[in-house]
């Protein structure tokens, strides 16, 4: 086992790249259980056994990008494209608010239709109607001015996964028009604009090695985000990666535990993708040190069209069903949903 390495990570909250690689490549079931037990304990010291739900509103599946892994990539002609109106978005928030949500995430493809003026209007309306809620955006790469305007309109947080911190690997996953340098720059711009920033990556993305994962961890240490979203890569049948294998729940939960030990305060979602590859994936994520879930609040008739990968769960369920289901799932492992803004806790 690698308990000595794990103890060092626990104490120093970082390891040299070579040690991260060793910890990932040569992991054992014993290592995973030990890591998870430390990660859980640290998460509970700061956040107790509460898990923060964020209501996810997938407001557009138009995208100008062509990421090779993603089901809603521009060159997939089989997507039935939709955009929600401002009214539809606000009404999704309204039903979420009634169910208890105090934290909303607006996510979409990179859709030029939602230029600054449109999205600022939506965020301002959300802020005005729900002054007590946290608003998180996940709209991809934009200009520093755009980020500034969105922050001033009342958004608090922004999720932008870096996807992979290794240049060659980034090029394998994205068309030439996209660059890791720009992606990283956006993350720094978001911080500068005042956002609480979330980044992250897919586990088991095609071509990914332990060295790539180690680079991801080192980049995250440098960026020092408040949130890190990781989930397994899952193939989508209409993409160039359709025959690639999915990432595993084991490695995903292992990475969740490592991230928790690198920053005990982190907001770490147990993702829908993790719940998709394993029927108890979300519970396993929480037990590995995650403390956030992001159930879907989008109108039911568009959910199946926001298919980033195959077999996504909860695409046919009412928002109310997901709250009940997730609440029971959390209780089955000794946790509970905590309906609050779910802010990052700096202090114990």
- Name the residues that contact ligand SAM, by CB under 6 A: 69-70, 107, 109-110, 138, 140, 160-161, 163, 202, 231, 233-234, 236, 273, 308-309
Residue 309 binds which entry of ligand SAM, ligand FES, none, CB below 5-8 Å type-dependent: ligand SAM
Q: Pick from ligand SAM, ligand FES, none: which does 52 bind, CB < 5 to 8 A by kind?
A: none
Q: Of residues 315-344, which lie at the interface with ligand FES (CB under 6 A)?
A: 317, 321-322, 325-326
Residue 331 falls in which region: left (phi positive, over 0), alpha (psi -120 to 50) or beta:
alpha
Q: How far is the CB of 304 from ligand FES (least distance, A)?
A: 14
The DSSP secondary-structure symbol of 177 reads T
10 touches which of ligand SAM, ligand FES, none (CB within 5 to 8 A by kind)? none
How is residue 114 written in tokens?
């939602």
Residue 149 Cα distances to 3, 118, 194, angstroms: 47, 11, 11
| Binding residue for ligand FES, selected from 70, 256, 302, 314, defined by CB under 6 A | 314
- Which residues in 265-304 contact ligand FES (CB under 6 A)? 295
Residue 326 binds which entry of ligand SAM, ligand FES, none, with Cβ cut-offs from 5 to 8 Å by kind? ligand FES
| Residue 243, C-beta contacts closer than 8 angstroms, at least 6 positions apart | 235
Q: Which residue has the tokens 């991260």?
A: 20
Give the CA diameter of the chain: 55
Residue closer to ligand FES, measured from CB, 108 or 281: 281
Cβ neighbours for 322, distance < 8 A, ≥ 6 positions apart: 295, 296, 314
- Indicate which of ligand SAM, ligand FES, none lies near residue 314 (CB less than 5 to 8 Å, by partner kind): ligand FES
Q: State the Cα–Cα distance between residues 288 and 35, nearest whole angstrom.
A: 8
Tokens for 150, please give them. 């969105």
Q: Residue 110 binds which entry of ligand FES, ligand SAM, none, with Cβ cut-offs from 5 to 8 Å by kind?
A: ligand SAM
- Nearest-approach distance from CB 321 to ligand FES, in angstroms: 5
Of 80, 96, 99, the residue nearest 88 (C-alpha) = 96
Binding site for ligand FES (CB under 6 A): 295, 314, 317, 321-322, 325-326
């Amino acid at each position: 086992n690698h308990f000595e390495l794990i103890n060092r990570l626990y104490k120093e909250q970082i390891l040299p790249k070579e040690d991260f690689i060793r910890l990932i490549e040569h992991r054992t079931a014993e290592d995973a259980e030990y890591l998870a037990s430390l990660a859980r304990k640290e998460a509970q010291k700061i956040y107790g056994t509460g898990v923060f739900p964020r209501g996810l509103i997938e407001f557009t599946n138009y995208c100008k990008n062509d990421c090779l892994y993603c089901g809603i990539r521009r060159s997939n002609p089989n997507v039935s494209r939709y955009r929600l109106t401002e009214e539809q978005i606000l009404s999704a928030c309204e039903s979420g608010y009634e169910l208890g949500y105090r934290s909303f995430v607006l996510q979409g493809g990179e859709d030029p239709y939602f230029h600054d003026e449109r999205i600022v209007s939506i965020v301002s309306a959300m802020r005005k109607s729900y002054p007590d809620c946290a608003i998180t955006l996940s709209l991809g790469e934009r200009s520093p001015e755009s980020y500034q305007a969105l922050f001033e309109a009342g958004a608090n947080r922004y999720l932008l996964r870096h996807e992979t911190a290794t240049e060659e690997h980034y090029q394998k996953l994205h068309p030439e028009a996209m660059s890791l340098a720009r992606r990283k720059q956006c993350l720094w711009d978001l911080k500068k604009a005042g956002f609480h920033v979330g980044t992250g990556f897919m586990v088991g993305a095609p071509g990914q090695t332990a060295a790539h994962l180690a680079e991801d961890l080192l980049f995250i240490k440098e960026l020092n985000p408040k949130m890190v979203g990781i989930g397994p890569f899952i193939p989508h049948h209409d993409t160039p990666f359709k025959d690639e294998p999915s990432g595993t729940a084991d490695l995903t939960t292992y990475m969740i535990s490592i991230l928790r030990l690198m920053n005990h305060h982190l907001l770490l979602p147990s993702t829908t993708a993790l719940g998709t590859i394993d029927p108890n994936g979300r519970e396993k994520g929480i037990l590995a040190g995650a403390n956030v879930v992001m159930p879907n609040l989008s109108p039911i008739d568009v959910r199946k069209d926001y298919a980033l990968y195959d077999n996504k769960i909860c695409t046919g369920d009412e928002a109310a069903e997901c709250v009940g289901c997730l609440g029971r799932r959390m209780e089955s492992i000794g946790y509970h949903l905590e309906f609050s803004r779910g802010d990052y806790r700096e202090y114990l």
